[in-house]
Amino acid sequence: MATAFTTLNRESELSYAYLYAIASRAGVNCKTSNRHDDNAGIDAMLTGWELFPNGGSLTEVDIEVQLKVSIKTPFADGDSLSYFLSGTQQYNDLRRETHASPRIFAVLFLPPKAEDWLTHSHEQLVPRKCAYWVSRAVRHQQTTMQASR
């Protein structure tokens, strides 16, 4: 049976679903970006409302998210993972200090075989693997990003 979604589209949609699920669990609003935001490297925005620990008097925080997905096993050095961006311009745009809202870069790592990405039954919905993120606060230039676990 033919499908309208390519494998890359399915991977991408799962990264959004994963972000929505994690945000919902945390009580944070998640909305996807429009085409213009996407052209600026913003795939989604997370918004939280409440007093935040160590956040001073802030009661609303927006975080812009750039999402990627990969079926490749990341290089792990014990404390961090590496993900290769096709060009350093994406990374440099992400870490630019002229943005008002904080930005994070998140990568969902999926198993290599599509049939292992997600299982479901009447009792459970189970995504396989997980996403990792890094803040734009990493300010040095590099060609790979190392994300926190």
Residue 66 CB-half CA count within 13 A: 22
Indicate whether 1 belongs to any domain.
no
Q: What is the mean pLDDT of each run of 10 residues along the chain (149 residues)?
A: 77 91 90 72 86 70 88 80 70 70 87 89 86 68 45
Write out the residue range of the structural domain in which residue 88 sits. Answer: 7-148
Indicate whether 2 belongs to any domain.
no
CATH number of residue 37's parent domain: 3.40.1350
Query: pLDDT tens digits, residue range 4-46?
Result: 788 888 888 999 999 999 999 888 999 998 766 666 678 899 9
Q: Which of 149, 27, 15 is closest to 82 using CA atoms?
A: 149
The one-letter code for the residue type at 100 is A
Query: What is the pTM (predicted TM-score) of this model?
Result: 0.77
